[in-house]
Structure 1
């Protein structure tokens, strides 16, 4: 069997296309439609949940004990919290991100009847007026406002523009793709993960790869608010690998290059056997790999387990610098993670009992233990 080769140009093209479509949690329909069309073009038949999470199954040798790969289409954003007396907008964040990174952002306001543009600014934005107070004012969502690019100086005039409390605010990604392989943009979490999955699917379609079990390619729409993969997991699935961002920062072992495999996040350790398999696949295939632990982090896998799904979970990541801010990644990591996915879905099944929901202890897995075990 020829190992699938990742088309890096295709991966980059998909990331650029995804970044051009606003998709903060709660406003993902357009991105869902785009991904569904691309999956169809790649020969899969996407199925959508009521709210728009996507499942596309590529058939393998067996339906039971299926594998699943998941990333999320939704991004961070904001909602209109109030129309203020000066005609501007108070905001509430969608997802967890700092208002420090919101300051200066260009945005789109999605009203029911009208779409407008604007800028998020600190309450004291003019140095000519506030002097040193522009530097000493606090940081937080209570200290920023959205200036609308329309004639308005009062709440009443803003309301007349068609803007209401609860309207979605999408933040411009401002992407920049450099010849060095570095990519700077907002919303790389997790548009890059979606592009990685599409590139793996595309590579598998060009190869003669044989899948030992069905693979469910999943794209969720509410990971940033903690819901994620709670409602898109089918009973056939035995293992779930989430594709998301690693945290390249001081005190972390994540890298912007190669694959970073998360050993644990705030929800606890990932599955011992599945994580070990992914590490071994990296080593066997010459894929640069390192491990890390994320303390203030959760992914689609956590929501799947919390929903009651008895599945093995793992998290493979591409290192992001300044996660949930103005993010930076490197193309090497995107290609490496995509390569790992193709190696994983074509690898042999090692835990045959996972095809059954329940089985006896004789077929149960083993972890390393001292040579002498206590007798029962």
Structure 2
């Protein structure tokens, strides 16, 4: 039986709160990567920064000829200013795959090129029921959704005078909350929950001088939501590539908020059978609660690496996340199970 580490619930949840409350839509991730870099410096681990802005920390193992790589991503869904409208409000262009109704009514920030952040609210143009007969039935789309800016503006000229322009990034408020019975609710748990778990694992391994059987890379990527986060800078000695990302919950799925979810297949095709079986065996022998699942409309950094041509065994697991790409929720039970599988995996012998 593989040893199962204790779960630092307070540390993980505290870091997760800081991460989700740091704006990081894909393409605008410098702030959150600064948070990650500060964590890595505090741990005292060796790391490098890629040209795309990702961070890769490395722990040398007993076997330095065959490497493992684990990745999680800190980029999130978001938007960009598509148009400054004649009335001073903003049209948006999506970053990542979400439905407009998932962000309707959300508070947001517009990040201007000058570095100033301006508050706003994402609304339907036809929101006022006392004016618009079709307020409830109008289509939620890019033509009808807009940002109401929290400034005294009445036209495009006054909005532009604030420094707002086409191409500025827009981030959605996280609304982070925990409950006494263990639920964690927030936007952007995908994939900042997994990122917090990877940092916790790296801290545990480094501070306790745990010798890993194989050199292991901890890859924090920043472009996953747009399809090319972890598809470069993979050391040539890498044999196994694990994407630590959310489990999707819904009708026909086995994943839940209380176990670690292991993905057998997503829209890119099946994950490596042998490596997936290795993960399920670790769960079974160490009594880690898990669910196997297939995600029909899903892709990961591991599948991006395969499409890029890397010759690696790839697999995917992570905490179960309810209502993905909307107002998400998980439970500390799922975070704990994922932490246990992470530790069991990096301390296990590599497959032949």
TM-score, scaled to structure 2: 0.97
> What are the superposed Cα offsets for residues 62-107 of structure 1, whole Å, 9 maximum, x if unpaired?
2221001100010000000001111100000100111101111101
Partner of 2:280: 279
Q: Any idea what SS the aligned residue of 1:174 has? A: coil
Q: Any idea what SS the aligned residue of 2:130 has? A: helix
> Within 1, Cα distance between the matches of 2:205 and 2:344?
10
Q: Any idea what SS the aligned residue of 1:336 has? A: helix
Question: Contact 1:53 / 1:232 at 8 angstroms: preserved in 2?
Answer: no
What is the aligned counterpart of 2:126 among 103, 124, 127? 124
Q: Does 1:293 align with 2:294?
A: yes
Partner of 1:365: none
> Within 2, Cα distance between the matches of 1:350 and 1:87?
59
Q: Any idea what SS the aligned residue of 1:128 has? A: coil
Q: 1:2 to 1:183 in 2, by over 3 A?
A: closer
Partner of 2:79: 78
Offset of 1:51 from its aligned partner? 2.5
> Within 1, Cα distance between the matches of 2:139 and 2:100?
10
> What are the superposed Cα offsets for residues 164-185 of structure 1, whole Å, 9 maximum, x if unpaired?
1010001000011111111111
Q: 1:19 to 1:230 in 2, by over 3 A?
A: same
Bigger shift: 259-268 or 114-123?
Answer: 114-123
> Within 2, Cα distance between the matches of 1:138 and 1:69?
41
Offset of 1:3 from its aligned partner? 4.8
- What's the RMSD between the two structures over aligned residues? 1.3
Question: Contact 1:5 / 1:203 at 8 angstroms: preserved in 2?
Answer: no
Question: Contact 2:4 / 2:340 at 8 angstroms: preserved in 1?
Answer: no
Q: Any idea what SS the aligned residue of 2:280 has? A: helix
Structure 1: runs of 5 or more not aligned = 352-376
Q: Does 1:63 align with 2:64?
A: yes
Partner of 1:319: 320
> Within 1, Cα distance between the matches of 2:241 and 2:220?
12
Question: Contact 2:45 / 2:206 at 8 angstroms: preserved in 1?
Answer: no
Offset of 1:155 from its aligned partner? 1.3
> Within 1, Cα distance between the matches of 2:212 and 2:279?
16
> Within 1, Cα distance between the matches of 2:5 and 2:300?
27
Q: 1:83 to 1:336 in 2, by over 3 A?
A: same
> What are the superposed Cα offsets for residues 303-335 of structure 1, whole Å, 9 maximum, x if unpaired?
111111110100002111110000011111111
Structure 2: runs of 5 or more not aligned = none
Structure 2 matches for 1:247-262, cutoff 5 A?
247-262=248-263
> Within 2, Cα distance between the matches of 1:205 and 1:156?
54
> Within 1, Cα distance between the matches of 2:139 and 2:341?
44
Structure 2 matches for 1:124-143, cutoff 5 A?
124-131=126-133, 133-143=134-144
Q: Does 1:22 align with 2:23?
A: yes
Larger radius of gyration: 1
> What are the superposed Cα offsets for residues 10-35 of structure 1, whole Å, 9 maximum, x if unpaired?
11111011112111111111111111
Partner of 1:235: 236
Question: Contact 1:4 / 1:209 at 8 angstroms: preserved in 2?
Answer: no
Q: Any idea what SS the aligned residue of 2:341 has? A: helix
> Within 2, Cα distance between the matches of 1:350 and 1:84?
58
> Within 2, Cα distance between the matches of 1:55 and 1:246?
23
Question: Contact 2:7 / 2:339 at 8 angstroms: preserved in 1?
Answer: yes
Bigger shift: 70-79 or 14-23?
Answer: 14-23
Partner of 2:192: 191
Bigger shift: 290-299 or 199-208?
Answer: 199-208
Question: Contact 1:254 / 1:290 at 8 angstroms: preserved in 2?
Answer: yes
User: How many residues matched?
Assistant: 350
Offset of 1:43 from its aligned partner? 2.5
